[in-house]
Amino acid sequence: MKILFLFHDSWTQYPKADWLASRIPLDGFLVIKKTRPWWGAYLWKRARRIGLFKVANEALLRLYWLVTKSARDRRMTSKLLEDLKRDIPADYRRPPVHTVHDINSAEAEGLLKRLNPDVCVLMVNVILKKNIFSIPRLGMLVFHPGLTPEYRGPHSAFWATLNHQFWGIGWSLLRVNAGIDTGDVLAQGSAAVDPLTQSHVYMQHKSHVDGLPQVVETLRRLEAGEHPVVDTRSRKSFNYTHPGFSDYLKLRRFLKGLRQSPNAADARSVQL
């Protein structure tokens, strides 16, 4: 079975891809160089769609996080990924790396057709066009850092924590379709995290790391001709967007109360 791993050109993604490739043969990495247009154009387009106040609220949280939280996130994530890299065999050799500027471009479509994968695993945050996600015969499988269908969309760990549903901090491997994280779920699980001491940014990386072994197992099952699926028919579906600063203030109040609660230890046992 021919497998490609698609991800953004970020230092946080390569160790995860390398670990996966060290456990199951991959035919290559497809690295996406561009995620969105220039920030000004992106924010203006988003403001026209969802409103200026909402976009300003989101931008304020991003700025606050960059100034006050990002350094700690980077330290914790670096340690997590260094531990992951130490688990990669010494004789590992990275598969061929292909790059595209835009995953929805004609360039990317042509490259995917030439590479002709049976299945693709994705860690991407863009909506794929049908002519792209329909190329692999077994589909494109997005490795989503959240449990679907309850936590579709970005920043699942943030919303699961704010909703007091720590079991929702985890990962799902689901088939890409025309919706936003609405495809069939092949495998999923909660992550071993601590919402009282870890940020939503770190917890999403931890969710990916915790889910990697099951991704390997699911790919092996597909290669054996099986059709793994998680029955989600009785579960409620919610699609979330980027949190704003006002959402973060609610989260801080909740976590402060939880830390002072005699049941605070329960937040450290969140697996599904």
- Residue 50 domain-assigned (yes or no): no
- Domain CATH number, residue 151: 3.40.50.170
Residue 195's domain comprises 3-34+69-268
**CA atoms lying within 13 Å on the CB side of residue 139:** 16
- CA 225-226-228 angle, 5° bins: 145
The pLDDT tens digits for 182-240 are: 999 999 999 999 999 999 999 999 999 999 999 999 999 999 999 999 999 999 999 99
Q: Please indicate, yes or no, if residue 259 is contained in any of the structural domains.
A: yes
CA distance 133 to 139: 7
Per-residue model confidence (pLDDT) at position 272: 45
d(CA 242, CA 240): 7
Residue 60 lies in a domain: no
In a domain, 59, yes or no: no
Q: What pTM did the predictor assign?
A: 0.91
Residue 238 lies in a domain: yes
Does any domain span residue 53?
Answer: no
The pLDDT tens digits for 49-72 are: 777 788 899 999 999 999 999 999
Q: What is the pLDDT of residues 158-186, one digit of tens each?
A: 999 999 999 999 999 999 999 999 999 99
Answer whether residue 56 is part of any domain: no
250 falls in which pLDDT band (50, 70, 90)? very high
Instruction: Give the span between the Cα atoms of 179 and 153, in whole angstroms.
Output: 10
Per the structure, how many domains does the chain have? 1
Domain presence at residue 180:
yes
The DSSP result for 122-154, as a single string, is EE--SPPPHHHHTSSTT-EEEEESS-TTTTBSS
> What is residue 239's DSSP assignment?
B
